[in-house]
Amino acid sequence: MIPSDNSTTQSPSRKREGLGVGKSASPSQAHPRPLPQAGGEIRTDWTREEIAALFDLPFTELLFRAAEVHRAHHRPDEVQLCTLLSIKTGGCQEDCGYCSQSVHADSGVEATKLMDVREVLQRAAQARDAGSQRFCMGAAWRNPKQRDMPKIVEIVKGVREMGMETCMTLGMLTPEQAQQLSAAGLDYYNHNIDTGPEYYERVITTRNYQDRLDTLDNVRAAGINVCSGGIVGMGETRADRVGFVHTLATLERHPESVPVNALVPVKGTVLGDMLADTPLAKIDDIEFVRTVALARICMPMSMVRLSAGRESMSEATQALCFMAGANSIFTGDKLLTAPNAGDDEDAALLTKLGMKSLAGEEPMRACAKEPAE
Ligand code: SAM
Ligand code: DTB
Ligand code: SF4
């Protein structure tokens, strides 16, 4: 059981050679230009140059600034615990180069139908009893069909009635579908921009960056909290990581949650196969922590979720991510199809670090409730 304080409860480019097995930029040695201050001020006018300059800071300085911003808005000893469930696995028509669930991948993941409502609710109850605060449900769809919506709505209502927060990730949404989910009481919608705009088309060809941003707009307009982040370690350069943070940090309102995934390289996927046995097979730990720190500095009030890839990260790297401002994780031994760290390991790590489960409300949501002056 995770330590908790419940006192206040709450074609991929089919051109594989084009996928950017490029160089990661190395941090520059000197910083002659003045660097932006990182005092926790909420801004949506970040420039790429400012973000790049922060990225290039000496690691210790970057970590210190991120930790300062973190403390201005969050309790540094608290971590939010979320649980993931794949409610419809595999057989997805999209060609995301990282994904085991794409029909274009030869990953051995079997396609299933949408799970029965009862089974989903049973799994949610188990997660709640294990200390999880939010139940995140994913479907391997390009977009939900209208015929799927009644069942999805029933699931959202059922999980909420159990006292858990709900999050869904179902692919692209029309404005009408977003409204339907909002009316059902959905708390969060996860839809990742995945990477910077320039690298995006090297990873996915069946939809474009603007499609992702349009869905985020539809979710926002429907009044659902936005969860949007991406994946580090897909062979992108540091400039692409700057573009990724820049896109999120310049949205009209920052996402309430920003998942930062480390690529889980899956055999049979374009990226898993392409990066295997190359120096880019695993993202450099320090570069990953830098990306987390940047997300924290540029989006001070958002929950930054240390997402996929934790099972292959050392305790020390995860601890650095928490120092850099990560304050949310997925618990349990499985993500959607890939393995996760597991409750026992997480409980041991959080105990070792003296961290506990988030007890209060998320800053961005608490802030949204304050009456306007
Ligand atoms: N089909 C929906 C969509 O793509 O929006 C929802 C499910 S999809 C699996 C959710 C997110 O998981 C993706 O946007 C991607 O960022 C992340 N993801 C998928 N496979 C991954 C992998 N192998 N490693 C890291 N993150 C991954
Ligand atoms: C997110 O950014 N990470 C989660 C969640 N949103 C849905 C998904 C991670 C998937 C990892 C690969 C898998 O399990 O297949
Ligand atoms: Fe489909 Fe989502 Fe996987 Fe892309 S990431 S192939 S949209 S399930």
Between the alpha carbon of residue 72 and those of residues 65, 75, 299, 326, the distances in Å are 11, 8, 12, 14
User: Is 321 one of the catalytic residues?
Assistant: no
Q: Point out the catalytic residue in the list 82, 227, 298, 321.
A: 227
Measured in whole angstroms, the distance separating CA 281 from the mean position of its chain's CA atoms is: 20
User: Quick one: pLDDT at residue 106?
Assistant: 96
In angstroms, what is the span from residue 60 Cα to ligand 1's centroid? Answer: 31
44 occurs within a structural domain: no
Is ligand 3 within 6 A of the CB of residue 140?
yes
What's the number of domains the chain is made of?
1
Helix (H) / strand (E) element for 356: namely strand 356-357
Q: Which mutation among 96, 193, 337 tests ligand 1's pocket best, with the greatest number of atoms within 8 A of CB?
A: 96
CATH number of the domain within which 171 lies: 3.20.20.70
User: Quick one: pLDDT at residue 267?
Assistant: 95
129 occurs within a structural domain: yes
35 occurs within a structural domain: no
* Spatial distance between the Cα atoms of 96 and 232, rounded to a whole number of angstroms: 14
61 occurs within a structural domain: no
Is ligand 2 within 6 A of the CB of residue 178?
no
SS3 68: helix
In angstroms, what is the span from residue 185 Cα to ligand 1's centroid? Answer: 23
Burial state string for 170-195 with b = 16 or more CB within 10 A and e = fewer than 16: bbbbeeebbbbbbebebbbbbbbbbb
69 occurs within a structural domain: no
User: Is 82 one of the catalytic residues?
Assistant: no
15 occurs within a structural domain: no
* Spatial distance between the Cα atoms of 30 and 70, rounded to a whole number of angstroms: 26
Is ligand 3 within 6 A of the CB of residue 194?
no
Residues of the chain with pLDDT below 50 are 1-38, 372-373
Between the alpha carbon of residue 337 and those of residues 102, 172, 217, 229, 264, the distances in Å are 12, 20, 28, 19, 10
Count CA within 13 A, CB hemisphere, residue 182: 16
Could you tell me the residue range of the domain that residue 222 belongs to?
78-358
User: Quick one: pLDDT at residue 133?
Assistant: 86
Q: Point out the catalytic residue in the list 212, 290, 305, 310.
A: 305
Residues 252-292 pLDDT 10s: 999 999 999 999 999 999 999 999 999 888 899 999 999 99
User: Is 167 one of the catalytic residues?
Assistant: yes
Residues 105-121 pLDDT 10s: 999 999 999 999 999 99
Amino acid at the residue 287: E
> In sequence order, what DSSP letters do the residues of 288-319 get, joined into one string?
HHHHHHHHHHHSTTSEEEE-TTGGGS-HHHHH
221 occurs within a structural domain: yes
Q: Which mutation among 85, 95, 101, 203 tests ligand 3's pocket best, with the greatest number of atoms within 8 A of CB?
A: 101
Q: Note the pTM of the prediction, 2 decimals.
A: 0.90
23 occurs within a structural domain: no
User: Quick one: pLDDT at residue 130?
Assistant: 87
Residue closest by Cα to atom 13 of ligand 1:
192
